[in-house]
Amino acid sequence: MLLNLKNNLLLWIAIINMVNIMENSKYSSKSREKIWIPLIAIAVISLLVLFAGCLDNEIDDIIPDEELSPEAVINLPKKSFDQYENIEFEIQNTGDTQLTFSRVFDVDYYNEDAEEWESVELDLVWPMDMIFLNPGESFTQSFNPADNFVDEVKGGEYRINKQITCVETDEVLELEKNFWIEISDESE
């Protein structure tokens, strides 16, 4: 845009100089009429260049927010785990946007008597870093119920909860994955 303005300014200066030369010279009236034709052509071309430069200064490959589809899933290697077993879960970016999240996650226990989910207090230290996942990438985290649950491990249904944010739109995704813990007598 700035280059177009500079070029147009130079063209207009040239036109003004040509008009001044024409008025100060001893051209015949017929040659004065003929000199206006190139001046008008130059003026029209410079206006076209100016307006063409103003029409499209947008980047073509930007995807509108409504066309972005941030998606992610939590994958577990199996559905049931022993209370002493390390539970590794994978966060996989299945969408077409970059995702970001911290290492923090929650675990809930389904209380069948109360018919509601109860938060499980975890004894974990969370590094304060941010993970970035490009489309198709994954990240693995783990915990051990016997080592990381503050209270006694109960057998039953649990779920992992994780918040993930789309970098482009700041949309927050709430991921959940259910699993079971079976109680055994001793560590293997």
The residue among 35, 55, 75 that closes a domain is 55
Task: Say yes or no: 49 and 88 in one domain.
Answer: no
Q: Which two tokens stand for residue 56?
A: 């499209």
60 falls within a domain: no
- 146/94 same-domain check: yes
pLDDT at position 13: 74
Could you read off the pLDDT of 116-155 as tens digits, one per residue?
Answer: 999 999 999 999 999 999 999 999 999 999 999 999 999 9
Write down the pLDDT at residue 42: 74
* Whether residue 76 is found in the same domain as residue 163: yes
Tokens coding 110:
């389904």
DSSP state of 169: T
Q: Which residue has the higher pLDDT, 172 or 14?
A: 172
Q: Would you say residue 86 lies in a domain?
A: yes
Residue 50 within a domain: yes
Q: Are residues 37 and 103 in the same domain?
A: no
Going by the DSSP 8-state scheme, the letter that residue 153 receives in this structure is P
* Inside any domain, residue 22: yes
Is residue 187 included in any domain, yes or no?
no
Q: Please count the structural domains in the chain.
A: 2
Q: What is the DSSP letter of 54?
A: H
Query: Looking at the structure, do residues 75 and 139 belong to the same domain, yes or no?
Result: yes
Degrees to nearest 5, angle at CA 28 with 24 and 32:
70
Is residue 77 domain-shared with residue 168, that is, in the same domain?
yes
Domain check: are 167 and 85 in the same one?
A: yes
Please tell me the least confidently modeled range out of 5-14, 53-62, 93-102: 53-62
In a domain, 76, yes or no: yes
**Domain coverage including residue 72:** 67-182
For residue 30, tell me if it sits in a domain. yes
* Shared domain check, 83 and 49: no
> In this structure, are 136 and 97 located in the same domain?
yes
Share of the chain above pLDDT 90, in %: 60
CATH number at residue 76: 2.60.40.2550
Question: CA dist 27 to 14, 24, 168, Å?
Answer: 19, 9, 65
The answer on 34 and 113 residing in a single domain is no
pLDDT per position as a tens digit, 26-62: 555 555 566 666 667 777 777 766 666 666 555 555 5
Asked whether residue 113 falls in the same domain as residue 155, the answer is yes
Average pLDDT over residues 78-84: 96
Q: How far apart are CA 128 and CA 139, in angstroms?
A: 16
In a domain, 188, yes or no: no
